[in-house]
Amino acid sequence: MEFAKRLQPLQANVFADMDQAKARARRAGQEIIDLSLGSSDLPTAAHVLTAIAQSLPDPSTHGYLLFHGTQAFRQAVAQWYTHKFGVAVNPETEVLPLVGSQEGTAHLPLAILNPGDFALLQDPGYPSHAGGVYLASGQIYPMPLLAENHFLPVFADIPAPVLAQAKMMVLSYPHNPTTATAPRSFFAEAVAFCQRHNLVLVHDFPYCDLVFPTAPHQVGSELSPALAPTAQELAPSVLQADPAKTVSIEFFTLSKSYNMGGFRVGYAIGNAELIRALRQVKAAIDFNQYRGILNGAIAALTGPQAGVQHVVETFQQRRDAFVQALHRHGWQVPLPNATMYIWAKLPDRWAQNSIGFCQHLVEQTGVAVSPGAGFGKSGEGYVRFALVHPPEVLETAVDRIHAFLAHS
């Protein structure tokens, strides 16, 4: 049976290979500590679950959910966004519900790219961004994210012939996997660049709440309180740099801040023409999710926000415990101020073989982590740790990693 050529780039999957390595480790009797997936282990808030549960016996929620039926959710999104970022949003034309933000970022290239058009993507970057471009038969120009540039792309390095064929740029800060943050001035530069070159600017923003303003008592901190960046400074919205929404669209999820990953609910906010184009693509593919899930999402966005702060504090505690444990064993990694990850440069012996490091590590110790090469060529030499276990489990994982490095 012959399949479309657009599937060929999707066949090589480092993370599928890691799943096989985990399976081999389990069969060999290893107790797995999985730090390879950014799926929160924290529970969904009770008031959110109540809203979903109360929807279940209501027969009006059991049918297809078309766009007009999502109005209450879109209004809640617009209210939440404007309160947090101070930019007005029209819920009728500038907000679109999504079956998880990944669904939106993967489908948007179908609305923007013709075969052969370029998309400018971060390298390393979230793999789904590349997958959407491949499914649209587009080409990818990888923008290297290097430590010496604070893991920000250098727009001046993009070749003119690529720009002539490019239609979109995809950014995501706070960044997965590098944990880097970007100031509003960077987004202003990106907006101006995209306006100048007639590019759609896509910003994937799942970690908008998961930021940790630095304070003197925190491990590794060298900043005084007066100099410490605020949460708003660590995670600005691209629409704050493009309030007229001239070229920009931003994607949000309830998976991280509200621990609703399994419910698959997200949304896009931005340029009305882009929202309409993505809506047209979605209309050919799905009818939105179950109305009860959107009722839960409305409760999350409009109800008590103490749970979001608990999520932030939990991952900050885990970050501190994990980094301190690595430092005790001599692995010096920087203290990230955002996301639920640690991006760690590998010891010299493994600097060109992050995949081999991760495969041997899980098979010999049961600790599963993500190889930097799985996120792009510029990710080689790094590994990503997802802080999805309590501190004591994370410290056990570090002890196993130290023992592995001592004997490898």
pLDDT of residue 231: 79
Phi and psi at residue 357, to the nearest 5°: -55, -50
Q: Considering only residues 38 and 245, tell me which one the structure prediction assigns the higher pLDDT.
A: 245
* CA 80 to each of CA 86, 95, 165, 299: distance values in angstroms, whole numbers, following the listed order: 10, 12, 37, 11
Work out whether strand 139-144 and strand 118-123 pair parallel, antiparallel, or are unpaired.
parallel
- What's the rounded Cα separation, in Å, for the pair 307 and 86? 22
pLDDT in tens, 82-129: 999 999 999 999 999 999 999 999 999 999 999 999 999 999 999 989
Q: Which amino acid is at 390?
A: P
No. of H helices and E strands in the chain? Answer: 14, 12
Specify the DSSP element, H or E, that contains 16.
Answer: helix 14-27
pLDDT of residue 9: 87
**CATH for 46-302, among 3.40.640.10, 3.40.50.1970, 2.60.370.10, 2.40.40.20?**
3.40.640.10
Closest CA to 320 of 257, 382, 258, 398: 398
For the CA atoms of 358, 6, 112, 72, what is the dihedral angle to 10 degrees? -70
End-to-end CA distance of the chain: 44
116-140: burial string, b at 16+ Cβ within 10 Å, e else:
ebbbbbbbbbbbebbbbbbbbbbeb
pLDDT of residue 47: 97
Token pair 């509200």: residue: 258
pLDDT of residue 221: 46
pLDDT bin (cut points 50, 70, 90) of residue 216 is very low
- Number of Cβ atoms within 10 Å of the Cβ of 49: 15
For the CA atoms of 349, 325, 177, 257, what is the dihedral angle to 10 degrees? 170
Give me 129's structure tokens: 């961004």
pLDDT of residue 271: 98
pLDDT of residue 217: 42
Percent of the chain clearing pLDDT 70 (strictly above): 96
pLDDT bin (cut points 50, 70, 90) of residue 219 is very low
Residue 17 is classified by DSSP as H
Percent of the chain clearing pLDDT 90 (strictly above): 87
pLDDT in tens, 65-88: 999 999 999 999 999 999 999 999
Token pair 């800060």: residue: 173
pLDDT of residue 230: 82
pLDDT bin (cut points 50, 70, 90) of residue 8 is confident
pLDDT of residue 227: 59
In which region does residue 122 sit, left (phi positive, over 0), alpha (psi from -120 to 50) or beta (all else)? beta
Which neighbouring-strand residues pair with 211?
A: 338
Domain 12-38+306-406 grouped into CATH 2.40.50.100: no
Give me 192's structure tokens: 């101006």
pLDDT of residue 355: 94
Alpha helices in 221-370 (DSSP H): 231-234, 238-241, 272-283, 291-302, 306-328, 354-365
Please name the residues in contact with 16: beta carbons below 8 A apart, sequence gap of 6 or more: none
Peptide bond into 124 cis (omega under 30): yes
pLDDT of residue 18: 83
Task: Please provide the average confidence, as pLDDT, over all residues in the chain.
Answer: 94
pLDDT of residue 220: 45
Query: Would you say residue 42 has pLDDT above 60?
Result: yes
- What's the rounded Cα separation, in Å, for the pair 142 and 313? 34
pLDDT in tens, 351-367: 999 999 999 999 999 99
pLDDT of residue 167: 98
Q: Mean of the pLDDT values across residues 402-407?
A: 93
Asked if residues 38 and 290 have their Cβ atoms less than 8 Å apart, the reply is: no
- Number of Cβ atoms within 10 Å of the Cβ of 182: 24
Query: Would you say residue 218 has pLDDT above 50?
Result: no
Query: Would you say residue 382 has pLDDT above 60?
Result: yes
pLDDT bin (cut points 50, 70, 90) of residue 215 is very low
pLDDT in tens, 228-277: 678 788 999 999 999 999 999 999 999 999 999 999 999 999 999 999 99
Which pTM was predicted?
A: 0.94
Instruction: Give residue limits of the domains in the chain.
Output: 12-38+306-406, 46-302
Asked if residues 384 and 375 have their Cβ atoms less than 8 Å apart, the reply is: yes
pLDDT of residue 233: 87
